[in-house]
Chain A
Amino acid sequence: DARVTQTPRHKVTEMGQEVTMRCQPILGHNTVFWYRQTMMQGLELLAYFRNRAPLDDSGMPKDRFSAEMPDATLATLKIQPSEPRDSAVYFCASGSSNQPQHFGDGTRLSIL
Protein backbone atom coordinates (compact mmCIF):
# COMPACT_ATOMS: atom_id res chain seq x y z
CA ASP A 1 0.00 0.00 0.00
CA ALA A 2 1.30 3.44 -0.92
CA ARG A 3 1.57 5.71 2.10
CA VAL A 4 2.22 9.32 2.98
CA THR A 5 5.30 9.38 5.19
CA GLN A 6 5.82 12.06 7.81
CA THR A 7 8.91 12.66 9.90
CA PRO A 8 9.50 13.01 12.75
CA ARG A 9 6.54 11.28 14.39
CA HIS A 10 7.18 13.11 17.64
CA LYS A 11 9.05 16.32 18.43
CA VAL A 12 9.57 18.01 21.77
CA THR A 13 11.49 21.26 21.86
CA GLU A 14 11.72 24.52 23.72
CA MET A 15 9.97 27.66 22.66
CA GLY A 16 11.99 29.82 20.30
CA GLN A 17 13.53 26.85 18.51
CA GLU A 18 13.07 26.17 14.83
CA VAL A 19 10.93 23.14 13.97
CA THR A 20 10.94 21.42 10.60
CA MET A 21 8.41 18.76 9.69
CA ARG A 22 8.75 16.70 6.54
CA CYS A 23 6.34 14.87 4.32
CA GLN A 24 6.83 12.44 1.46
CA PRO A 25 3.63 12.34 -0.60
CA ILE A 26 2.44 9.29 -2.46
CA LEU A 27 4.16 8.92 -5.81
CA GLY A 28 1.95 10.32 -8.55
CA HIS A 29 -0.06 12.59 -6.28
CA ASN A 30 0.28 16.21 -7.35
CA THR A 31 -1.50 17.93 -4.47
CA VAL A 32 -0.14 18.18 -0.93
CA PHE A 33 -1.98 19.50 2.10
CA TRP A 34 -0.82 20.51 5.58
CA TYR A 35 -3.30 20.32 8.46
CA ARG A 36 -3.08 21.02 12.17
CA GLN A 37 -5.24 19.18 14.70
CA THR A 38 -5.89 20.32 18.26
CA MET A 39 -8.56 19.49 20.80
CA MET A 40 -9.83 23.07 20.79
CA GLN A 41 -9.80 23.87 17.08
CA GLY A 42 -10.17 20.44 15.54
CA LEU A 43 -8.71 19.91 12.06
CA GLU A 44 -7.49 23.09 10.36
CA LEU A 45 -6.11 23.41 6.85
CA LEU A 46 -2.88 25.37 6.96
CA ALA A 47 -1.72 25.29 3.35
CA TYR A 48 -1.78 23.29 0.16
CA PHE A 49 0.24 22.88 -2.99
CA ARG A 50 -0.54 21.66 -6.47
CA ASN A 51 2.31 20.63 -8.75
CA ARG A 52 4.66 22.06 -6.07
CA ALA A 53 3.15 25.55 -6.34
CA PRO A 54 1.45 27.01 -3.27
CA LEU A 55 -2.26 27.48 -3.90
CA ASP A 56 -3.53 28.57 -0.54
CA ASP A 57 -1.73 29.31 2.70
CA SER A 58 -4.38 31.52 4.25
CA GLY A 59 -4.71 29.19 7.23
CA MET A 60 -1.11 29.60 8.22
CA PRO A 61 0.32 32.25 10.57
CA LYS A 62 2.61 34.01 8.11
CA ASP A 63 5.00 35.52 10.60
CA ARG A 64 6.36 32.22 11.88
CA PHE A 65 5.17 29.43 9.60
CA SER A 66 6.44 28.58 6.14
CA ALA A 67 5.66 25.71 3.80
CA GLU A 68 7.64 24.62 0.75
CA MET A 69 7.97 21.80 -1.74
CA PRO A 70 11.63 21.61 -2.76
CA ASP A 71 10.77 18.74 -5.08
CA ALA A 72 7.87 16.45 -5.89
CA THR A 73 8.89 13.92 -3.22
CA LEU A 74 9.28 16.32 -0.30
CA ALA A 75 7.10 18.90 1.41
CA THR A 76 8.26 20.80 4.47
CA LEU A 77 6.52 22.84 7.13
CA LYS A 78 8.70 25.08 9.28
CA ILE A 79 7.97 27.04 12.41
CA GLN A 80 10.45 29.70 13.48
CA PRO A 81 10.38 30.72 16.24
CA SER A 82 8.13 28.11 17.83
CA GLU A 83 5.70 28.96 20.62
CA PRO A 84 3.81 26.78 23.13
CA ARG A 85 0.53 27.49 21.30
CA ASP A 86 1.96 25.68 18.26
CA SER A 87 1.73 22.39 20.15
CA ALA A 88 -0.52 20.15 18.07
CA VAL A 89 -0.52 17.22 15.70
CA TYR A 90 0.44 18.24 12.18
CA PHE A 91 -0.79 16.10 9.31
CA CYS A 92 0.28 15.97 5.72
CA ALA A 93 -2.04 14.57 3.07
CA SER A 94 -1.60 14.02 -0.65
CA GLY A 95 -4.03 13.49 -3.50
CA SER A 96 -4.77 14.33 -7.10
CA SER A 97 -7.73 15.28 -9.26
CA ASN A 98 -8.83 11.63 -9.39
CA GLN A 99 -7.47 10.37 -6.06
CA PRO A 100 -8.91 11.41 -2.69
CA GLN A 101 -6.62 12.67 0.03
CA HIS A 102 -4.47 10.13 1.83
CA PHE A 103 -3.14 11.19 5.21
CA GLY A 104 0.14 10.50 6.93
CA ASP A 105 0.26 9.49 10.59
CA GLY A 106 1.21 12.98 11.70
CA THR A 107 3.92 14.74 13.68
CA ARG A 108 3.01 15.25 17.32
CA LEU A 109 4.68 18.53 18.30
CA SER A 110 5.15 19.74 21.86
CA ILE A 111 6.65 23.16 22.49
CA LEU A 112 7.76 23.65 26.10
Chain B
Amino acid sequence: AQSVTQLGSHVSVSEGALVLLRCNYSSSVPPYLFWYVQYPNQGLQLLLKYTTGATLVKGINGFEAEFKKSETSFHLTKPSAHMSDAAEYFCAVSPMNTGFQKLVFGTGTRLLVSP
Protein backbone atom coordinates (compact mmCIF):
# COMPACT_ATOMS: atom_id res chain seq x y z
CA ALA B 1 0.00 0.00 0.00
CA GLN B 2 1.10 3.57 -0.64
CA SER B 3 0.62 6.79 1.28
CA VAL B 4 1.86 10.37 1.11
CA THR B 5 2.37 12.90 3.87
CA GLN B 6 2.80 16.56 3.07
CA LEU B 7 4.09 18.52 6.03
CA GLY B 8 2.42 21.88 6.38
CA SER B 9 -0.94 22.69 4.86
CA HIS B 10 0.28 26.25 4.27
CA VAL B 11 3.75 27.59 3.54
CA SER B 12 4.46 31.31 3.31
CA VAL B 13 7.52 32.81 1.64
CA SER B 14 8.59 36.20 0.41
CA GLU B 15 9.14 36.84 -3.26
CA GLY B 16 12.72 35.86 -4.11
CA ALA B 17 13.06 33.46 -1.17
CA LEU B 18 13.70 29.75 -1.34
CA VAL B 19 10.63 27.53 -1.69
CA LEU B 20 10.69 24.17 0.12
CA LEU B 21 7.62 21.96 0.15
CA ARG B 22 7.98 18.68 2.00
CA CYS B 23 6.70 15.29 0.94
CA ASN B 24 7.29 11.92 2.55
CA TYR B 25 5.93 8.72 1.11
CA SER B 26 5.35 5.16 2.12
CA SER B 27 5.42 2.39 -0.45
CA SER B 28 5.82 -1.36 -0.23
CA VAL B 29 7.35 -1.45 -3.72
CA PRO B 30 9.64 0.98 -5.59
CA PRO B 31 7.61 4.10 -6.28
CA TYR B 32 6.99 6.57 -9.02
CA LEU B 33 6.69 10.04 -7.47
CA PHE B 34 4.99 13.17 -8.74
CA TRP B 35 4.38 16.79 -7.92
CA TYR B 36 1.30 18.53 -9.29
CA VAL B 37 0.33 22.20 -9.02
CA GLN B 38 -3.21 23.57 -8.93
CA TYR B 39 -3.93 27.20 -9.69
CA PRO B 40 -7.32 28.67 -8.73
CA ASN B 41 -10.22 27.36 -10.77
CA GLN B 42 -8.00 24.98 -12.70
CA GLY B 43 -7.18 21.29 -12.67
CA LEU B 44 -3.95 19.77 -11.44
CA GLN B 45 -0.95 20.26 -13.70
CA LEU B 46 2.07 17.98 -13.64
CA LEU B 47 5.19 19.82 -12.40
CA LEU B 48 7.62 16.94 -12.45
CA LYS B 49 7.94 13.21 -11.94
CA TYR B 50 10.49 10.69 -10.76
CA THR B 51 10.53 7.28 -12.39
CA THR B 52 14.02 5.79 -12.44
CA GLY B 53 17.55 7.04 -12.94
CA ALA B 54 18.71 10.45 -11.77
CA THR B 55 17.32 11.24 -8.34
CA LEU B 56 17.29 15.01 -8.88
CA VAL B 57 14.41 15.78 -11.17
CA LYS B 58 13.84 19.13 -12.85
CA GLY B 59 10.37 20.29 -13.74
CA ILE B 60 8.58 23.25 -15.19
CA ASN B 61 8.71 26.81 -13.85
CA GLY B 62 12.12 26.33 -12.20
CA PHE B 63 11.02 23.67 -9.72
CA GLU B 64 13.00 20.58 -8.89
CA ALA B 65 12.69 17.67 -6.48
CA GLU B 66 15.09 15.09 -5.14
CA PHE B 67 14.21 11.47 -4.50
CA LYS B 68 15.87 10.28 -1.31
CA LYS B 69 15.14 6.62 -0.79
CA SER B 70 16.82 6.44 2.62
CA GLU B 71 14.60 9.24 3.88
CA THR B 72 11.51 8.21 1.87
CA SER B 73 11.25 11.83 0.81
CA PHE B 74 10.58 13.77 -2.38
CA HIS B 75 10.76 17.42 -1.36
CA LEU B 76 10.02 20.15 -3.90
CA THR B 77 12.26 23.21 -4.13
CA LYS B 78 12.67 26.40 -6.11
CA PRO B 79 15.58 28.77 -5.46
CA SER B 80 13.61 31.99 -5.83
CA ALA B 81 9.86 32.32 -5.39
CA HIS B 82 7.78 34.37 -7.77
CA MET B 83 4.35 35.78 -7.13
CA SER B 84 2.97 33.52 -9.84
CA ASP B 85 4.04 30.44 -7.84
CA ALA B 86 1.22 31.00 -5.37
CA ALA B 87 -0.93 27.88 -5.75
CA GLU B 88 -1.66 24.53 -4.14
CA TYR B 89 0.88 21.77 -4.58
CA PHE B 90 0.18 18.06 -4.38
CA CYS B 91 2.66 15.23 -3.99
CA ALA B 92 1.59 11.81 -5.28
CA VAL B 93 2.92 8.25 -5.43
CA SER B 94 2.18 5.20 -7.54
CA PRO B 95 3.81 1.80 -7.41
CA MET B 96 6.41 1.35 -10.13
CA ASN B 97 5.08 -2.04 -11.11
CA THR B 98 1.76 -0.52 -12.22
CA GLY B 99 3.23 2.24 -14.34
CA PHE B 100 1.45 5.57 -14.30
CA GLN B 101 -1.81 4.22 -13.09
CA LYS B 102 -3.65 4.85 -9.87
CA LEU B 103 -2.08 7.67 -7.86
CA VAL B 104 -2.26 8.26 -4.13
CA PHE B 105 -2.23 12.00 -3.41
CA GLY B 106 -1.18 13.93 -0.37
CA THR B 107 -3.50 16.48 1.18
CA GLY B 108 -1.79 19.39 -0.53
CA THR B 109 0.25 22.41 0.56
CA ARG B 110 -0.87 25.92 -0.22
CA LEU B 111 2.04 28.17 -1.10
CA LEU B 112 1.58 31.84 -0.29
CA VAL B 113 4.03 34.35 -1.78
CA SER B 114 4.23 37.86 -0.38
CA PRO B 115 5.83 40.85 -2.10
Which A positions have Cβ atoms within 8 angstroms of B?
Answer: 4, 31, 33, 42-43, 45, 48, 50, 56, 91, 93, 95-106, 108
Contact = CB atoms under 8 A, between A and B. Distances in A.
B102 A48 contact: yes
B25 interface: no
B46 interface: yes
A105 B42 CA distance: 5
A98 B99 contact: yes
B89 to A, nearest CB: 12
By DSSP majority rule, is chain B's interface helix, strand, loop, or mixed?
A: loop
B44 A91 contact: yes
B34 interface: yes
Interface of B: 34, 36, 41-46, 49, 90, 99-103, 105, 107-108
Contacts, number: 48
B43 A43 contact: no
Contacts of A33: 102
A91 B100 contact: no
Given A43-B105, A43-B108, A97 B42 contact: no
Given A43-B90, A91-B43, A101 B108 contact: no
A29 B90 CA distance: 22
A97 B99 contact: yes
Given A42-B107, A43-B90, A43-B108, A103 B100 contact: no
B103 to A, nearest CB: 6
Contacts of A45: 102
